[in-house]
Structures are given as structure tokens and as C-alpha cells.
Structure 1
């Protein structure tokens, strides 16, 4: 069992990665929403040869169609620029061509406040047409109101492996109790039933004929043959039918722990006609006491063909082609449930609860609950999960066309908005009955759509949706279009958006010359410097009809000026507050600086007292530049310093009136101050006006109770010389001196002690009155023993 659990966790990790890919890339169109925007939409507005290319180059670009707007030699591409720049160059507002996106609400039925049932309107607007200019964003407000009593279809999908034997007895009495509980929150509820075991191939199920007929351990108990998935009862509002059909069921058996639940979930989502799903809130209750097989496990049984994503129920409600197709992946199951707008509730036992909690994170709007060992709490579990799911409103979109991006902001109850990342979904939790929430859907196109696209927004778990017709505006609608216009040299070209398009063989800004005249030396002389040297048109244009037609940002009679070489501020030429001419920024009114970066206004520098920057700085570019020691937007804050008013204010108050924080200790705390009262009327205004007299006196103006003015003079304490350095050096010298004295005293005491001990030793040595070579207390370690039977060598032998 432990080994199988380890293998399952590994397979779940693999399927999780696959599911994320499957769920996030359901179609080639939706994959484009994560791509980077078109490179042409980055940066600032640049010149373009036509109005169409101009508005597609950048969302800030506009086109001036005024006749003769460009100067002599200036390229027609200079008609393209930012709105402010073109207006500053003299283009009339009515001659600006600047198409913008817009939106039209085609259908907006009011939300059904207080209504109940299936007919309530919960999502608005219902149909919108949005036209996008590439690079520009449009924001759509979608409103959702949670109505009471919304209809519910609940399909109970049960694991009938042998380990669920006790649970089946509980489920047989489930129908009536479940209907009663659901009818408390909705007037229309239907329930259905289906069951699953596992694929009927080795190693998932024993293929021994006797075991296929009766897979249970004992032959005396009722047991049905194993199967992958069986649809038992279509959705009905009759509790007796539910209990009768479930009562006919009996458990089955398989070999391994994981079950074939994914096959059952996929078929329940795909076979909508057989199950009988209505277009209402759809709940699928999945009960099991073990984990599940996923994509790839079928190879253990010789099954290599992936699931084809189609319904395969036969006339008996059995998943007939289970042995042919592999188990579906997590991503495939999540996508099928989302497409069918089904909200799964996983009611599982505690050992497998963590696995299903991880699975729920990969399936939008799903819930997980802990099932008791005998399923006795299943009704309460379903009701808790239903209340949680129905109070969570999740807005998502269908697949996006290439080049269109989407993002959401959710306003769930207050005025604030909660942002979601681009390509994500909007979500509000704990939404109450008859409560309205708002979703702000932001759309942006980075390229033109070849044809209109229908985008659908829907709240998961509910049947309503918002249909958005997406269009793009990619061309100018100039009203001056004229064939063979007199303006173009008496019909030698066609006029469109202020520019002449010459007929074949004609050239020039106004089609004023023919191609045959281009080789004339006289014409080229008008494109060179007076001395006749240098390249034609300074190498920055071409000579046409004896005049230079400059390219890019060049201008001048000989294209000698570069109108793109001016200073930039925050990446914008001339800061966006002027136009560049011959490398010099010509700023708009009230703007200064090399890049027009400075504003001539001083509104942001005026302090409350009327002065600029509180008297502690100067105003530059409408911002205060503070002197050293001061900071803040108005230089009104000082790091580590106090004004005289702040320093002596409390002493002035307690000395004059006996009030304030120092009133109880004024004589000691303000001994340095000499406070006097002067009842002479003073015209100055304010609590404190500091003035210095001989660097000693400060004046404080205080309003007394009678409404008059009192003049207080505070003489600060005379400040002596600063002896800080001397004190610090003295402390350090004293510490060093004391240390040296202690070291010398210690060494002296040790020397005296050693000399006394040596003297005492010498004295005792001289007092000794005996002297021996051997120690009288020494005892030898050798013992001599005589053998009484030992004979000397000179004794005669016997």
C-alpha cells in the first residue's frame, strides 16, 4: 500500500504539470494571450508614410491631414506624431485624424433584485460591441447579482469498490434527506446517480473468470462484476426513484488501491444528454475512500491510446470502451468540467484528503470535504460545499483570438478593486444573496483582427454569459479623399488624408514633375549646398523635382536639420511638452529646460505661510530643492534640529501663563530663560514669530484669553565653550593611566612575594644539623629467604 501511494504521488506530480498546460492552453487562439505585445507598440510615436501605418505604429499617434502642413523639403511622414506635438506645430484640431476605440452596449437587462428561480437575471450587460485600436485598452464593467433559489442539478458519483461496502448502506437512504436540505435553498432541485470501480483489465482487476463474475472475498455476500463507470439514474426530482435505484446496487472489487474515478468524471461531464443536465447550477458529488488512476497508468494494462474526449455510454449506461482508452489526465478532466460548467465536490476519507485538496487547486471552482468512514456526514458535507461554491463568483472568458489580451479587476463589496494578473480570472468570495459585485474587464489588441470575434464571459456555475463582439479599427476615415484632385498638380494624383498619391510617371510632393526630368543637372543643383559640394540633400533624403524630400526626422531645405536629436525626458522627446526643431526643443508655454522638463508653475512650492519652500530652499521645476539639513516636499522638516520657537515654546507658555507641560516645574526647567510680559499691542499674527536681537532675544506672540496680544521675550541660556573633545580625551587618558598603574602594582606585588619565599627557603636549608647519604625512611623492595634444605657447594655428596 505504501509503495502504491508513493507511485501515485509521483504520477500526480506529473499529471499536475500536464494539467496546468492543458488547462492554460485549451486552444491555439488562447495561447496567444501570454505572448509579448507587438514590438511596434513599444516606445514613442515615430513618423509614418501613411495615416493607416501611423495609427498602427503606436496608440499615442495622430495624423494631420491639413493641406500644406509639412514645410518645404519636409517628409510627409512628419504628419504623424503625438496629438500635442501636431497641435503645437499648427495643425488645426478639426484636421487631426485620431481614431479611438469605443464600446456599445447592445443588451443590458436590469439585474433581478429579489427574484427567485431560473428566470432571474444575474449577469449584466448581456451583449456588448467593443472596438479596439491596437495598443489601446478598453475597460468593460460586468455586474453580477446572486439571486436566491437558483435551480440545482446534483449527480452523485460513488465508488463501489469493496472498501465502500459500509458507505453504500448509508447512501441508500440518502435521496430524501438530500432533497429536503437542497429544497431549503432552492425551489428546483434534481438528483441522479452513477458508480465506478476500475478498468476490467490486469493489473487493475482480476481477469480470472470466477473473479470477474464475483470479485468479493466471500461468495455468500451480494457482489456485482467489476466495471469502469455505470450511469444508473438520470437527474430526477423524485427521491423514491433515487433510493430505489441505489438500493439495487451492490459493491464490486478490484486489485489495486487507486480507482478509475477519472473515467467516471469525464463521462459524466461529456454525456450531458444521457445524464440529463439542465442549464442551471450543476454539482457533481464524487465519493471515494482512495486515490485515482491518471493518464499513463493504462500502459500497465497494455492501453496506450489516450482518451478521445467523447461520450461512450451504451444502452445499459456502461462506459463500453474503457479497455480501449487510457485514463484521462488532470488537465483533461478540469477542461471537461469547465466546458460543461460542472462544479465538483470531492467527498473523501481522511487518508486521501491531502491528495484531493491538491487536485482541487487544479480544477476551477471545486470543493473538498472529509467523509466519515460510513458516509454518515455526506448530506452536511454536500450542503457546506454547495454554500461555499454558490457564494464564490468566478468570472472567466472563452478562448481569445491572436493578438488580444485580457485582465480582470474585482470589486467585491467596497469601493476598492482587487487586481488579478493578465489572463487570469475575476473572483469574489462570500457573496451573499441579492448582493451585487462588479468585475472590470480590460481588453487590449496588439494587432488587427481579420474579422470580428465573439468573446464570451461567464460566471462559473451559472448559465448566463456576456457576449462581447470584438472589432478593431485599423484605418483612418479621412473625409478629404478625392480622385485626380486639383490640389495634386491639376489632377496628377489622388488626394487622401492630405497626401497626394501620384499617378504613374509623376513624382514630387504635389506630383509636380515627371520621371523624365529627374536627370536634369539644373534640378540637382537645388538639392546641393551653394558651393556645389557635399551629397545630395545632405545624405538624409532624395532630390525630387529640384527639391529635397527628406527622410525620417530630417528637415530643412537641404535636410540639414535632425528633428529627433533633441534632449529627452523620461524617454520622450522634449518631455512631450514641446517640439524638436533642428536639435533644439521649442517648449510650450510655461515650460523650460533643455528637454522642456521643467514647469514654470510654483504652486507645489508654496507653503502654508505663503513663502516658497518654507524659507529653507528654492523652487525648481515646481519642486522644492531644500538646503542642507531640511527635507520634505516643502522643506518643512529638519533632521536633528529644532526651531527657536519649538525649543522655547513650553518655557514661554509656563512663564507667561503658568500653563503647559512645564507648568509644575517651570522655575527649574526654564532657569535659562527670562520671560517678561509686554502688553503693548502687536500687529503681527500667529502664535510664534521668532526674531533675533543681538543673537540673544526671541519674540513670541501669544493670544491671551481677552483676545489681545502679549509679547514674550525669552533669553536663551548662554552657551559656553564646547569641551566635548577635551572630556573625551581626558576620559581615554585616565582609563589608560589607571590600567598602567594596576599592571605595575600587580608585577611589584608578585616580585616581593617571590623574594620573600626564596629567602625563607634559604634560611630553613641552613638550619639543617645532620646530613646522610641515604634516607632513613627508605625501605627496600627486596626480600631474602633461606631454604633450609639448601646444601652448600663444599658438602660431600651422599
Structure 2
């Protein structure tokens, strides 16, 4: 930074400190009193007045956020904590622009507002001595179906009404409240056809026409939007043939009238929100009760806006504006314009002691300072080097003040760019054989040279042209398959740590260690084969991708059989793969078993009964030795399966006795191990069981009868005792009827003769 710039930066810092000190010192003064500093015309007069400060910069403006500008240099995924201070300054300038719906239904509201202008200014001056007020009005687009285009209605759409219009700036911001009252009083209402109004056109023009409205850059900008109806938004203009999108540009003539009302469509909500953020406008929607819900929803989509309920004649507008202003200034919310390459997170304890991740603090009072920590992190570098230097703005929502971050992204080393330390051009780079630039200790060769140190030339007399000779023909693979270094058009393969492993070939494409393995052995071990250029070369007698399979099928033929896999499977890699057909499922080493069909259990059963248990048809017919001599049958007490190739068979004889045997192979010989002793179930005493059941039934029946008799006896005795007790308690004579009464009158029939 040069001396002049450094002096300017220091002067800015001094001015900011003076301004903040003065502002906070004035907090104790009553805001209703005139500011003693505003009348001081020279620095000497200012410095002789307590609580006043003077800044020598002609463009300096006091701010509520500190610092105002910083420089920051970041690497990817490197975060920096930036301390940000904010304090609500007393006596801060306020610009209030009152934008009013002047359709016929708002006539009484206009009359009331004209009488409240001075009161509104008086209340706002309690907040600041630097207050200005402006006024604008709107109706709707002067096209059908919004406004009647009958010639007579275009001049006066209703009794005492002015010709319809879109928007008009009646009074730019001024401190003359009498002029405000006069302009509001003299403004005439107009009329339109549909219920929604063209308020969005008016809001857009009131925001973007900064010079025409006279918005100040160093003031809090309030836009009070007053209406009793809804609003048209983007797309509604098609009903009137207005299809060109709103351009967000000021279009006011010398009279303050909106000239493009019938040319441009209504703005969208997002357009309004964007312009509100760009121009730091605080919008206050002062609407009637029936429209409150609609504008509450709208305010949720527009930054730094709020909504309040307006009385039928707008008599509460002063109170409403004061309340909404207090609500707006009681919080601060930090916003930024960071891109996808930069992430900013905010932390603050607000007015408490616990720091949390938040960008908003509430319940602030004038003069109170809150501290934020902005954690700025570079996520990734932009591909375009022109964007490696960025300007990021952090600002409180609704205020035209900001902290500017001049961010330098460290996406390239200084030694990678010409002129930087550690960079040598080819002309002086002896380390690169003058065939390329030395950048950060690495040679970057020019188009005529290649190699680690640019030692190879494209004009090699041996005909090798550059690095293309280190790639296979018609291939775009990496050089030397990534397993070697290209030196002057030839691949020098990298050595391996294991001395038994080697990489070779013209392009380092071959090795002796990347072949298939079987049971963790390369090509199933040296007895089966060896690895040659990434593929197994098998010895005689072996085959398969890892030389794991015998070349012959002898291992798939059972002893004493000539069929491969017992004719029920296929020999794959020296092992039988059994098949399934017609419900039969074969298994076993040689597919000799079939659990779902008649198997060898039934085949060996007669011989086991004959040899081991001395029973069965073969024993009776004397053919035991003749039929079973080819089998080796061993007797044992317990039968268990000892290997996966064995099968167990279980049978029961005519007495229910259970016996088992196992058959399998001992090498090439069929062997049977049979259970010598049968397991018979114990004999059952049926007569004893029947007699026991009969006795139990008789005993239970007698017990039930005795219990019934006992309960009946007890019940009868209780009933008798109750009757006897009632009889003894009787008080009347048993010969008279206690309810009988003599007749009070008697009559005698004279015709009755006694018969």
C-alpha cells in the first residue's frame, strides 16, 4: 500500500473512532433537545463543545458498524474469525416516504393523514432531530381490465375523482412537514375496476428512483405502504396485454409520474425483495384488518419488512409507524453477499453470556453494543483466476452501512506465477536445461522439450517424438500406466519394495504379482503355475484362471464306478457339481446321494441287518456272505458323521427299535460303520394306565358330590335362621289384620229382605 493510501486508511479509522465516541457520549442527552453539534460550522467550534467530534474527510459519514473495511487472505478450508461490533446510534437520520393507495375507498384515510403530518413528524423527531418526510400515491395500470378506458372515465372515473394513473411521486423527502400536509390534502383520489391495486409498481419506483425521491445514503430509510386492498404481481399484466417483464429501473417523468405503467408488467415478489436489499429499505405495510393476513405473508418474503393494522380512517398511522419503527430498530440481523466459494457463519452472545451460532440479536436499545464473530472460510477456489480476488459485504439488514472484506484467495503459490519468488523462466533455468520454466522447484517444459528436467527434445534423432512413445498405440492412458517414468520417450519402470516383485514391459504394463490367487496363493502356488505379465501360466496337469483346477476328471469318479459324478452331475475344476432334475436333488462328493429319491440307505440296509443284527431276508435265505462280501462293515456303539462326504441312515424294525449306520469312503474304499445295539422304546403297561384313570375319575366325582352337599346344607341353614329371626321380631297379633280399617259410613238397602 502506498503512503497516500495508508494515510487515508488511518484517517478513516480515526474518524470512525471519533464518531462512535461522540455518538455514544450523546446517548445520555434527551433526544427531544436539539443536537448541539449540528450548528457548529468549524472544527474549532466543534472541539470546544462537549460530546462533539469533527472528521477532516469530506465524504465521512458516521456508522453503527465497526470496522468498515478489512483485508483478508485465505487458503482453502482455512477459516478466520472477524470481530464485528454494532451499536444503535442515537439521533440517527431517518427518511420516511409515505406511499398511499389513492383509490376511492381510501378518501377518508387521505384526509386524516393530511391532519396527522405534523404529529407524525413530531413523534419521529423524538427519535431523531434529523427527520425527513415524503409522499407518493398510486392507483393501477391505465388499461383494461384494471381501469375503465371509456373516455369519460379516463377523465373522471368517479365523482370528484382525478384521472387514473399508475404511480406519482407527489413530494420528495423534505423536512417541511407543512408541505407534506398540503400535498396530502391537495391530492385527489381516483378509481379503478378490480380489487387488487398496482402497489408493486409504486414500491419498485419509490425504491429505485433514489435521486427523484431524495433518499440519503446515511439515513435509515422507511417506506410506509398504506392500502386497504391486495396487490397485482408479475404475470397479472398479461390480462391487460402487458407482457414485458419489469426491468427494475426508474421511469419517472418531470412531474413524478410513472411513464412505463402500461409498458412493463408488475414486479415479482423476488424483484421487490432484491431491490429492498440492494437499497437498504425498511418497508412497513400499513393495511386494514381484512388485508393483514395477506401482507403478513408478504412480509415474510421481503427482508427487513413488517406489517401493521391500519384503522378504517388511518387515524392510528402515527402510533403504527412508531411501533413498527421500534420493532425494526430493536434487532440487528447480519447479512452478506458471499458466493458459493466462501462460507460465513456468525456467532454472538448478544446481550447475554452464552455464545451461540446466530446472525441476529433482539431487544436492543439505543447505545447498546453487541459483538459478532464472523467466521469466514474459503470452501474452494473459483476456476477463473480473475475471481480469486473478491469483495464481500457484511451489513445489518435494512441499513445502508456495511463492513467490506477485500478477500484474496490463495489459490496459487507465488512461485507458480512469473515474477514471483521461486519462479525462473526457461532462459535462466539451468535446473531445467533451459527447456522450461522452474516453478516451485519443478520443471514445466516448453512444447519442444519433455522429461523431469526437460532433458528430452521433441527432435530426438532416434525418432521418439515426446511422451506419446510412453503410451500404448491408439491409447490415451497415462504415461507408462502410472507405474514408471517417461524418460525421453522410454518408460523406466519403478522398482518394487519386494525384491521378488518386478514391473516390466515397454509401457510397464507387465508384472509378476497381480495375477489371480487361490487360497491366498498366487496362481495356487509354484506347484501349480506362475504369474506372467498379469496372467497365470499353469503347469501340466492344472488349469483355471488361478491354476487351481486339475486338468483331468479322475477326481470326479467314485471308486468302483466308471461314470463321472455318478452320472448325476458335471465335473467342474476337479469337483462334482450335482444336478437337479424331475424333483431329484443329488448331493455328495460324487453326487451319489439323492435325499428325495431311493438312495444307498435302502441299498445297504439288508447287509447291515444281516451282518450286524443277524436278521433280515438275506439271513433267512443264507445269502448274507454272497451279497455283502464287497462291503466293509464295522460295528460301533455310537454312530456319528465324521466328515462332509459321509451320510447317515436311520431305520426302525418291526418292534419299533431304532438303529443307524453311516456310509462313506476311506480313500478309494466304501466303508460302513453300523450301530451294534438297537435302541428300543420301553414297554407300556396299558392296563395300569386305564385302571389309574378310572380311579382318578371316581375320586374326583366323589369329591365334587361332597362339596355340593356341603354348600347346599350351609345355604339351607342360613335361610332357616333368617326366617326364624324375622318371625320372632313380629310385633302384631297374629289373629288380626294390621292393615284392616273399619268403614266410616254404612248404608242399608230397604229392599233387602235379609235373604
Mapped partners of 1:205, 1:281: distance in 2? 36
Contact 2:114 2:181 in 1 (8 A): yes
Structure 1 residue 344: Cα displacement: 0.5
Partner SS for 2:20: coil
Contact 1:550 1:559 in 2 (8 A): no
Moved more, 358-367 or 193-202: 193-202
Partner SS for 1:457: strand
Structure 1 residue 392: Cα displacement: 2.1
Contact 2:433 2:454 in 1 (8 A): no
Distance 1:556 1:542, change over 3 A: farther
Structure 1 residue 202: Cα displacement: 1.8
Specify the alignment match of 1:112 in structure 2.
20
The alignment status of 1:540 with 2:483, answered yes or no, reads yes
Partner SS for 1:173: helix
Structure 1 residue 126: Cα displacement: 1.6
Alignment of 1:326-345 (within 5 A): 326-345=265-284
Structure 1 residue 212: Cα displacement: 2.6
The alignment status of 1:474 with 2:417, answered yes or no, reads no
Alignment of 1:301-320 (within 5 A): 301-320=240-259
Structure 1 residue 296: Cα displacement: 1.3
Q: Select 2:129's aligned residue among 187, 190, 211.
A: 187
Cα deviations by residue, 1:118-148 (Å, 9 ceiling, x for unpaired): 9433112122122222333333222212111
Specify the alignment match of 1:178 in structure 2.
120
Contact 1:298 1:304 in 2 (8 A): yes
Specify the alignment match of 2:402 in structure 1.
465
Alignment of 1:345-356 (within 5 A): 345-356=284-295
Cα deviations by residue, 1:443-499 (Å, 9 ceiling, x for unpaired): 314114425222222223333222221222233345555668999598888755444
Alignment of 1:724-735 (within 5 A): none
Structure 1 residue 549: Cα displacement: 6.0
Mapped partners of 1:198, 1:490: distance in 2? 77
The alignment status of 1:241 with 2:174, answered yes or no, reads no
Distance 1:494 1:291, change over 3 A: closer
Q: Select 2:381's aligned residue among 432, 439, 447.
A: 447
Distance 1:494 1:260, change over 3 A: closer
The alignment status of 1:432 with 2:369, answered yes or no, reads no
Partner SS for 1:362: coil
Mapped partners of 1:556, 1:545: distance in 2? 27
Distance 1:747 1:503, change over 3 A: farther
Specify the alignment match of 2:91 in structure 1.
149
The alignment status of 1:372 with 2:311, answered yes or no, reads yes
Contact 1:537 1:558 in 2 (8 A): no
Structure 1 residue 299: Cα displacement: 1.5
Structure 1 residue 268: Cα displacement: 0.4
Distance 1:473 1:399, change over 3 A: closer
Partner SS for 2:377: strand
Aligned-pair Cα RMSD in Å: 4.0
The alignment status of 1:213 with 2:147, answered yes or no, reads no
Alignment: residue pair count: 445
The alignment status of 1:159 with 2:101, answered yes or no, reads yes
Mapped partners of 1:548, 1:271: distance in 2? 70
Mapped partners of 1:204, 1:345: distance in 2? 25
Mapped partners of 2:498, 2:441: distance in 1? 20
Mapped partners of 1:554, 1:750: distance in 2? 104
Moved more, 124-133 or 357-366: 124-133
Cα deviations by residue, 1:380-432 (Å, 9 ceiling, x for unpaired): 100010111122222222363x6344443344223434335xxxxx3222222
Specify the alignment match of 2:583 in structure 1.
none
Mapped partners of 1:467, 1:351: distance in 2? 43
Mapped partners of 1:349, 1:486: distance in 2? 79
Partner SS for 2:247: coil
Partner SS for 1:205: coil
Contact 2:147 2:193 in 1 (8 A): yes
Structure with greater contact order relative to length (CA < 8 Å, sep ≥ 6): 1
Distance 1:546 1:271, change over 3 A: closer
Mapped partners of 1:261, 1:407: distance in 2? 36
Specify the alignment match of 1:232 in structure 2.
170
Specify the alignment match of 1:260 in structure 2.
198
Alignment of 1:27-66 (within 5 A): none
Distance 1:410 1:751, change over 3 A: same
The alignment status of 1:363 with 2:299, answered yes or no, reads no
Distance 1:470 1:518, change over 3 A: farther
Q: Select 1:140's aligned residue among 61, 64, 82.
A: 82
Mapped partners of 1:537, 1:230: distance in 2? 76
Partner SS for 1:177: helix
Partner SS for 1:450: helix
Contact 1:288 1:349 in 2 (8 A): yes
Greater Rg by CA: 2
Structure 1 residue 537: Cα displacement: 9.8
The alignment status of 1:272 with 2:210, answered yes or no, reads yes
Contact 2:224 2:285 in 1 (8 A): yes
Distance 1:411 1:513, change over 3 A: same
Partner SS for 1:198: coil
Specify the alignment match of 2:662 in structure 1.
none
Cα deviations by residue, 1:483-534 (Å, 9 ceiling, x for unpaired): 68999598888755444567898877667888979999xxxxxxxxxxxxxx
Mapped partners of 1:384, 1:502: distance in 2? 71
The alignment status of 1:200 with 2:139, answered yes or no, reads no
Contact 2:333 2:361 in 1 (8 A): yes
Mapped partners of 2:181, 2:289: distance in 1? 27
Mapped partners of 2:502, 2:98: distance in 1? 81
Contact 2:111 2:184 in 1 (8 A): no
Specify the alignment match of 2:341 in structure 1.
403
Alignment of 1:539-688 (within 5 A): 540-542=483-485, 544=487
